[in-house]
Chains A and B, each alone.
Chain A
Amino acid sequence: MHGFANPKRFLSLARWLTPLLLVSGLIVTAVALYWGITSVPPDRLMGETVRILFIHVPTAWLGMGGWSAIAICSLVFLVWRHPLAAIAARAAAVPGLVFTIICLATGSIWGRPTWGTWWVWDGRLTSMLVLAFLYLAYIALAQAAEREGVSPRIPAIFGLLGAVNIPIINRSVVWWNSLHQPPSITMGKSAIDVVFLQPLLLAVLGFSLIFGGVVLARMRALLADIQAEARLRRRALEAD
């Protein structure tokens, strides 16, 4: 694993892995969503709106997964000081934010016909909204740290501290009274019928592949920017 932490080796791997993940992710997601919208019967209680879950659930998991990745990469950066870990953490922020926003939007759209309201300030929804704000703050902090030449340890510490919100989101439906249903899928168990579970798991796989592809694309962009800036700085110093 340490071998791929070398930027040169990482780039040789990422060059072919980025389009592969993005294209396969798009195909798998399209198949899963088409399956969900055309072949799955309406749910006994939710009716047709059950189809929204094939988007809402994967994006919710990846919204939380994105911050978990930020926290792990931040920890690796703080302990081993590897710059590629800091770049990976920054790269995971944008897809994490986008999937969190899609999760909030689709949850709200699902809530209107099912709960009779677009939004309630309960534990699950509020902690997910807090996650979106944490992503925005992290992206702004990482950009400001780079622009002002501040140590990347500051966004890394923020990434680590923000991880406190992840178990709160996960346990919110258990700790507090909520309109949101309790977890339907736990370790090795599922309360979801196999008719709904199969396209749901395929959608999780598809969105995860897209997430991975976008993280690699963002890492390549950030690396290229850093390398170009370093070369320009060296050239300016040589000219002096």
Chain B
Amino acid sequence: MREALDQWDFVLAAYVVAVIGTLGMIAWSWIAMKRAEKRRENVRSATRKAR
């Protein structure tokens, strides 16, 4: 007996994995960068005020 596989299901699954993985990585690195830079600015302004 031969398995009947629809190749398009596999193509779409691969594209979904790639799109979610890539967009997730971009969003996470962008948010982490913005958060870290905001923290640096907060620390910088708090130091200036303390002086």
Q: Establish whether residues A110 and B14, one from each chain, have CB atoms under 8 Å apart when the complex forms.
A: yes
Q: Given A37-B11, A112-B5, verify A221-B18 contact (CB < 8 Å).
A: no
A225 at the interface (CB under 8 A from B): yes
Q: Establish whether residues B26 and A101, one from each chain, have CB atoms under 8 Å apart when the complex forms.
A: no
Among A76-84, A178-186, A227-235, the one that faces the other chain is: A227-235
Among A47-55, A132-140, A149-157, A191-199, the one that faces the other chain is: A47-55
A102 at the interface (CB under 8 A from B): yes
Could you tell me which residues of chain B, from 2 to 51, have a CB within 8 Å of some CB in chain A? 5, 7-8, 10-11, 13-15, 17-18, 21-22, 25-26, 29-30, 32-33, 35-37, 39-40, 43-44, 47, 50
Size of B's binding interface in residues, CB under 8 A: 27
A109 at the interface (CB under 8 A from B): yes
Measured CB to CB, the nearest residue on chain A to B21 is A102
Size of A's binding interface in residues, CB under 8 A: 42
A59 at the interface (CB under 8 A from B): yes
A47 CB to nearest B CB, Å? 5
Q: Given A98-B22, A109-B17, verify A235-B10 contact (CB < 8 Å).
A: no
A217 at the interface (CB under 8 A from B): yes
Interfacial chain B residues near A224, Cβ < 8 Å? 33, 36-37, 39-40
| Complex alpha-carbon distance, A47 and B21, angstroms | 25
Q: Establish whether residues B14 and A56, one from each chain, have CB atoms under 8 Å apart when the complex forms.
A: yes
Q: List 10 A-B contacts (CB under 8 A).
A: A22-B26, A29-B22, A37-B11, A101-B21, A106-B17, A113-B7, A214-B25, A221-B36, A224-B39, A228-B40
Measured CB to CB, the nearest residue on chain A to B35 is A221
Q: Establish whether residues B26 and A214, one from each chain, have CB atoms under 8 Å apart when the complex forms.
A: yes
Measured CB to CB, the nearest residue on chain B to A98 is B25
